[in-house]
Amino acid sequence: MELSRNITVIPARKRIGNTVSAEEKPKLRVAAYCRVSTDSEEQASSYEVQVEHYTQFIEKNPEWELAGIFADDGISGTNTKKREEFNSMIEACMAGHIDMIITKSISRFARNTLDCLKYIRELKEKNIPVFFEKENINTMDSKGEVLLTIMASFAQQES
C-alpha cells in the first residue's frame, strides 16, 4: 500500500549578516531604588544626588530604558512595611513592568537579612535581577546569593 504525499518545497533565502535590527530587540526596563535614612538637610541632598546618578546611569546604557526611580526619603531600612516606594517597586516587578533593579548597596535595599533575601528570591523567580552597585553583586550570578547573605547579615549588624 503506497501513501501519496504532497510536498511543498520552501526555498532558502540567503541572508547576509545579522538581520535582527536594534529596534527589534526589546530594551531592559531598569528601575533604581534609592533610600536615605534620615530627614536631615544633608541626607536630602544625598537623595537628589542618588536620583540624578541613577537617571544618568540607566539612560547611558543603550540596551536599557528607565522604568522609574523609586525612592524612600527619611525612612529606616530595617522594616520594609513603611517603605511605600520600595513596596510599589516590588509590585511593579510582580506585575511585569520592571526587568531589573539597580541600587547603591545592600544596606540601601534592606537592612533586615530575611527581608532582603525574601525579596531577592521573589524577584529571582520572576527572572528579575537586582544589581548592588557598591558590592558589584548581581543576584542572577551563582555566587550572588551567597555573597548577598553574608553582606546582608553585616548590613543588619550595622543598623
Q: What whole-number percentage of the chain has pLDDT above 70?
A: 75
Q: What percent of the chain is predicted at pLDDT more than 90? A: 36
User: Residue 24's pLDDT is what?
Assistant: 67
Please provide the DSSP assignment of 110-122 as one string.
Answer: -SSHHHHHHHHHH
Q: How confident is the model at residue 128 (pLDDT cuts 50, 70, 90)?
A: very high
What length is written for the chain?
159
Predicted local distance difference test score (pLDDT) of residue 102: 96
Half-sphere exposure at residue 131, Cβ-oriented, CA atoms within 13 angstroms: 12
Nearest to 133 by CA among 159, 96, 107: 107
Average pLDDT of the residues of the chain: 81
Residue 100 is predicted with a pLDDT of 97
* pLDDT per residue as tens digits for the range 29-76: 999 998 876 656 666 677 788 889 999 999 999 999 999 999 887 655
- CA-closest candidate to residue 119, choices 59, 50, 158, 70: 70
CA distance 118 to 112: 10
What pLDDT does residue 10 have? 78
* 35 beta partners: 72
Taking the CB of residue 66, how many other CB atoms lie within 10 A of it? Answer: 17
Q: How many CA atoms lie within 13 A of 133 on its CB side?
A: 14
Give the pLDDT confidence score for residue 112 in this predicted structure: 76
pLDDT of residue 35: 81
Give the pTM: 0.74
At 105 the pLDDT is: 86
pLDDT, tens digit (0-9, with 9 covering 90-100), for 74-107? 655 555 557 889 999 999 999 999 999 999 888 8
Cβ-Cβ contacts under 8 Å for 57 (sequence gap 6 or more) = 32, 102
Residue at grid coordinates 550570578: 141
Residue 68 corresponds to which cell in the numbers above?
A: 522609574
